[in-house]
Structure 1
Amino acid sequence: MRRTGVFVAVLAVTLLVATAGSAARPAVTISLSRPSVVYGGSVSLSGKVSNNKAGETVDVLAEPSGATS
């Protein structure tokens, strides 16, 4: 009986660690105030992070026209 209790405890810890390690990164949606930006112009970005946490940091990278990521 004691072996069963130890086995169940080890299994529970293993599942908790596996679940924590495989947590997916939150998805980000983003919208632009207009479809294109002329050099020197401006555009506003708005969006949402799927985990709904306040203060979440989102990095927005800019690349020259025609560049591939």
Structure 2
Amino acid sequence: MLKDKTIVITGASSGAGKAISLEFALQQPNLVLAARNNDALNEVAEECRTSDGRAVRRNPDGCTSSDH
């Protein structure tokens, strides 16, 4: 249903934003994750990738991107 769609999630490094990110990753959309805590955001991005997330883009101030 969400495969090949793009979803933007802010506050993705913890709490509800993290939970939402991990749930959406199971449906294989393109995720754009943003948060102030870059270290925690990198951990969530990696968890999304290992949970079948097809592509995760992290976009805090540094504008880094990574494809699975």
TM over 0.5: no
TM-score (norm 2): 0.26
TM-score (norm 1): 0.25
Larger strand percent? 2
Query: Which gives a bigger RCO, structure 1 or 2 (Cα 8 Å, sep 6+)?
Result: 2
Bigger radius of gyration: 1
